[in-house]
Amino acid sequence: MIGASVIISFYNKIDFLKAVLAGFERQTHKKFEILIADDGSKASVVDEVKKIIAASPLTIKHVWHADNGWQKNKILNQAIKKSKYDYLIFIDGDCIPHKAFVHEHLIHSESNAILTGRRVFLSEKFTNCLKTNQIKNGYLENIFRLFVMKSISWHLGIYLGKFSIKKIILRKKGRHVKGCNMSLHKEALFLVNGFDERYVHPTIGEDDDIECRLKNAGFNVKNLKYLAIQYHLHHKLLSREMNQ
């Protein structure tokens, strides 16, 4: 059974991390490790992360560096170097995975492709009332609930993995890579020298950059819409991001 290294971009949001990890406890495909790529969370948060790792049934590594402004790409590259498996799945620390998230990325992996899925944006009310035990019990995987709770792009929560129509979806090339929902072989990133660490604040460019360099190296974007699903937790921009 093929395995994957799941790399979570993280900064200070400990409640969100608990929610994301609750989603990974629910995965149908069990052979994966998690690397928390921590872009300089404060000491008290690091202590909490260590407690979570100790209590979790998941295999988790914490990769951290000191806070020196927004250095997401730098910590991602460090996490990649510490990853165990040859296949990498990237997710943000505010995105909860559907139970088939790892499965869909792995079964559709290709040596010359970047896979990318999409996400449902949960409302502020939905985010605030969501509990980790609900996530573990599949609470988010009810499309009617996503609609009623006024989630943005709720229809992207429709899972088509068990239906033949997914063949049509897979034939459509993905238009753009989403760094929060992306997977590829590790050797592909080594080929283009990883993420560009010259990006020092969050912009659209950081995703476009890795996509452009991989396409120039001969890779294509494969669409996992309605297959590799995420649920994005509502939040305001972090103050560090707003000060850039």
Number of domains in the chain: 1
Nearest Cα to 207, choosing from 114, 122, 120? Answer: 114
pTM: 0.93
Average of pLDDT values for 125-139?
A: 97
What residue type is assigned to position 60 of the chain? I
Residue-wise pLDDT for 3-18, tens only, equals 999 999 999 999 999 9
Residue-wise pLDDT for 160-177, tens only, equals 987 656 566 665 555 678
- Reported residue count of the chain is 244
Q: Is the pLDDT of residue 124 over 60?
A: yes
**CATH code of the domain covering residue 44:** 3.90.550.10
Q: Is the pLDDT of residue 244 over 50?
A: no
Output the pLDDT for position 243. 40
Q: Which string of DSSP letters, residue by residue, matches the chain?
A: ---EEEEEEESS-HHHHHHHHHHHHT-S---EEEEEEESS--HHHHHHHHHHHHH-SS-EEEEE----S--HHHHHHHHHHH--SSEEEEEETTEEEPTTHHHHHHHT--TTEEEE-EEEE--HHHHHH--HHHHHTTGGG-HHHHHHTT-BTGGGG---TTSTTHHHHHHSBPSS--TTEEEEEHHHHHHTTSS-TT--S--THHHHHHHHHHHHTT-EEEE-TTTSEEEEPP-PPPHHHHT-
Contact yes or no for 89/183 (Cβ under 8 A): yes
Percent over 90 (pLDDT), the chain:
81
Output the pLDDT for position 200. 79
Virtual torsion, Cα 218, 104, 116, 121, nearest 10 deg: 180
Residue-wise pLDDT for 143-202, tens only, equals 999 999 999 999 999 999 876 565 666 655 556 788 899 999 999 999 999 999 888 777
Residue 115's domain comprises 4-242
Q: Is the pLDDT of residue 22 over 60?
A: yes
